[in-house]
Structure formats: C-alpha cells, structure tokens
Amino acid sequence: MREPVNRTILLLDIERFSRRDDVVQAVLRRGLNTIVDQTLEAAGVEPTQQYREDRGDGLIVLLSGDVAKTALLRALLTTARDLLHEHNLLASDSAQMRLRMVLAVGEVAHDPHAGTTGGVVGHDLNQACRLLDADVLRTALAARPDEHAVLAVSEPVYQGIVRHGHRGVRPELFRPADVVVKDGVLAAWIHQGAAGPATHTGPAAPAGPAAHTEPAAHTEPAAPAPRAEAASTAAGRPAPVFHFHGNPVVHGSFVAGDQHGVSGGTVHGDVVLGGSRHRDPRGADGADGAEGSQA
C-alpha cells in the first residue's frame, strides 16, 4: 500500500439510480461522466490531477492537493448545476438526473492490485461516503423538487473555505447538519440552493437626514372615522349622522364641534336632524326630534 496523501474528495451519486432499467442506467452514467468532465475543466483541474473510480450509480473523484478548492466549489455550485439543467431539459422523464454531492478533504491511500480496479482506502474517505449516504442529505434533495442537486461539505471544508466567503461562495447559504455514523456524529454543512429575494414586511425604512420630500400642492384633511350612533328612530332605523365643514348656523343656533360634508355658511329653511317630516296643523312642515349627530 502506498503512503496516504492529502486529497480533495468529491463524491457524486445519482438519485433513484437502481429504479431505472439497464438502458437508462447506461445513459445516466455517460451523462454523469460528461458533467464531471466539464465541471472539473471549469475548475481548472488537469487530467493528471485527478483520480476517478466508477461506483455504478456514482463516482469517487480524488484531486491532488494543488487544486484550488475555492475554484472547485464554485464550479460545483454553478457549472455542475447548469449542466444538470441542460441534461434534464433534453432528457426523457425516465432519464432525468438529480445528484447528491459531497466535498471533503482528508488522507487517502491507494492500494492497487493486479487485475483489479480501485483500491483507495482511508478513514476520511469512509466518513465522506457515509455523509453521501446519510438520510439528512437524501431528505434535503427530496425536499427540493425544483433543484437538480444538493451539495454537502465536510466540517474542514466549511471552516477552511466556505466560512471565509470567497468569491462565488456564500456561507449564509449553508446550514449545519449532524450526521450519526457508526463511530459517532459527523458534522457537515448542506448548501441551501439559490438565495430567494428578500422579503420585507415591516414599514419602509425612513429616508436619511439629507432626504427632502416636497409637500403636495393641496391635501384635503382626512375625515375622522364616524362614530357609531346607538339612537334609532321610531321606525327602527338607525339615526342619521350629519357632518359639516365650517360652522353652519341652523335657525340662528350655532353648531360647534367637527362637522364634515358642507363647506360652511348659513342654512335657511327647514333642517331635519333625525326623525321624520310631518305637517303641523298650521300647514307648515315640521320635524320630529333632532337626534342627528352634530359632532
């Protein structure tokens, strides 16, 4: 066995791969390799800097330590998602592809044997594989029907790369998750997908002290809310409420308080405030009651 060396670990797995028939599985595997090829190329990864193992429904990709993890992370969040979108746009319903992805780091050894492929071993690789198969990651992808992939990063990747907010990497879009594994709890961070528009439900922020708002040319005073009247007429109808603007004079009497609806002046003739009109014995119109509101 060769000496273990530090590697960037990229794991990918196709959702619901085993439910497809053999023909569709072959299409998905070719599509996945194409997506990984173009994603690594976008991250500036040379063929000599990578090692791959085909896992049937996914891939193990090990990258040398001189590959920039920031560039790889940006490519996973942008290029890989765009390529998945293009694939699914053209593929039939049976060949739709959604991915679980894990980005981790750690010591990995290669122990090849003649006549066989593979042979990578290491505790950090085992932990990354457990994260890829964890229910929390499967649930995160299932809960996002409009997303093509879900990405989880290990705690070292989050602390060393993500939390610093490098270009194209937004730490506020990652949430922590604890994954229970055989030998304890594995800390991880799951990307939440694209950020939605900010929602503001409170009052608008006031303008700065230098802001100036021109007054309107003419603004009518707002009328106060009408007050409920408990009185009713003899016929069982609610007593009417009258509002005036200005100070009207009713039969020489001064009406004070808030009045709305009349622009002011002297009122001549009969004014009926509530009640009903009737003819008095002298032939003149009269009024029963004066229960209207003058406020």
Hey, where are the domains in the chain? 5-191, 229-295
Any idea which fold 5-191 has?
Alpha-Beta Plaits (3.30.70)
pLDDT of 239 strictly over 90: no
What confidence tens digit (pLDDT) does each residue in 63-77 have?
999 999 999 999 999
**Residues ≥6 apart with Cβ < 8 Å to 157:** 69, 73, 103, 104, 105, 189
| Band (257; pLDDT cuts 50, 70, 90) | low
Residues 153-168, mean pLDDT to the nearest whole number: 96
Residues 80-84, mean pLDDT to the nearest whole number: 96
pLDDT at residue 199, as a whole number: 34
pLDDT at residue 116, as a whole number: 83
Cα–Cα distance for residue pair 106/125, rounded to 1 Å: 7
pLDDT of 152 strictly over 80: yes
Mean pLDDT of the chain: 78
pLDDT of 220 strictly over 80: no
- For 233, half-sphere exposure in the C-beta direction (CA atoms, 13 angstrom radius) is 17
Q: How many Cβ atoms are within 10 Å of 13's Cβ, its own excluded?
A: 22
Q: Does residue 130 contact residue 179 with C-beta atoms inside 8 Å?
A: yes
In this predicted structure, which of 52-66, 104-118, 186-200, 201-215 has the lowest mean pLDDT?
Answer: 201-215
pLDDT of 206 strictly over 80: no
pTM: 0.65
pLDDT of 279 strictly over 70: no
pLDDT at residue 17, as a whole number: 95
Q: Is 286 exposed, middle or buried (0-12, 13-18, 19+ CB in 10 A)?
A: middle
